[in-house]
Amino acid sequence: MVQTGKKLRFIDFCSGIGAGRLGLELLGLTCVAHSEINIDSDYTYQVFFNDNRNLGDLTLLNFNEIPQSDILIAGFPCQTFSIVGKRAGFEDERGQIIYYLKNILIKKNIPYFIFENVKGLVNHNKGKTLNAIIELLNNAGYEVFCKVLNSIDFGVPQLRERVYFVGIRKDLCNQPFVFPDSVKHPCIKDFLLPSNNDVLDINHPTFQKYLSNKYNKGRINIDEILEQDYTVIDTRQSDLRVYINKCPTLRTGRHGILYVKNKKLHKLSGMEALLLQGFPKEYVMKVKNITNSKLLAQAGNAMTVNVIRAIGQSLLNYIEENN
């Protein structure tokens, strides 16, 4: 029998800094363990949650070491399926983590799971990779439901499309799972913490050279951009892109996001990136002493708290209706 309500337990695999955990804990669920191999990410995780129960490398786990749980949540490695990455997929060792997760689901007879990955997985290898993953999980005994959701539709002003999987053990699946509806996104100013320490010198030769390259020259008027507070610009490798009241996808390896406040360009900080991923301010303040570059990278690799919370609520509703 599956436990219901606030008694539900989950394990946080490929946990990163714990955005998935936080999304479920905000619903009253209890985390019984997590698994993360990146030392820096796990340090941030422990600062957030004061939890040193890291199971370590999930590929080396003894099944007896894994606590019993009702839900398995994982943002399994996405570099191999990303547009930015080489898109090697199952040929890359990191793409094999899904097999270990599948074995854990079977051995521990876990009733439900929530997985997250990059949108690029949907079209990887002309859709064959996605179909193979669904078939793998289906053969493991789960009805699998997947959908691409955008974080901006769930209470944060960040454009972040990810594919989410919800698995329900077949003996518990009486009807299709329905993903949550979107909500109106808020103003980005509520997620920013501008200070004089993060201002970009627009007259710096490097920035001026960037503005005058063949991609931006004649297309970008920086003086006009500076007239509107909370305009966001993404200084990509070649062309600059402009957004109004929203932020482009936060990325792990590149952090060239700026925004306008009082006619100045501010560099997006790691703490602001965490806020844009749905971490409440009281959590963000806990990690203010962690370096900015690490927080930016970790936020870029995290799930969005709000999306997981919304999916978790839909799953709780499903369990209560069908248990």
Kindly list the catalytic residues. Answer: 78
Write the CA distances from 154 to 109, 145, 182, 322, integer angstroms.
31, 19, 6, 25
**Residue owning tokens 């890359």:** 92
Q: Going by C-beta distance under 8 Å and a sequence separation of 6 or more, which residues neighbour residue 279?
A: 19, 22, 305
Helix (H, G, I), strand (E, B) or coil at 35: strand
- Return d(Cα 286, Cα 271) in angstroms, integer: 10
Helix (H, G, I), strand (E, B) or coil at 312: helix
Order of all β-strands in the sheet with 257-261: 199-200, 264-267, 257-261, 231-235, 240-244
Torsion angle in degrees (nearest 10) through CA of 76, 309, 194, 258: 40
- Return d(Cα 4, Cα 1) in angstroms, integer: 9
Q: Which residues of 117-131 are buried (b: 16+ CB within 10 A; e: fewer)?
A: bbbbbbebbeeebbe
- Return d(Cα 142, Cα 159) in angstroms, integer: 30
- State which amino acid sits at residue 249: T
- Return d(Cα 258, Cα 272) in angstroms, integer: 11
Q: Going by C-beta distance under 8 Å and a sequence separation of 6 or more, which residues neighbour residue 64?
A: none
> DSSP code of 177?
-
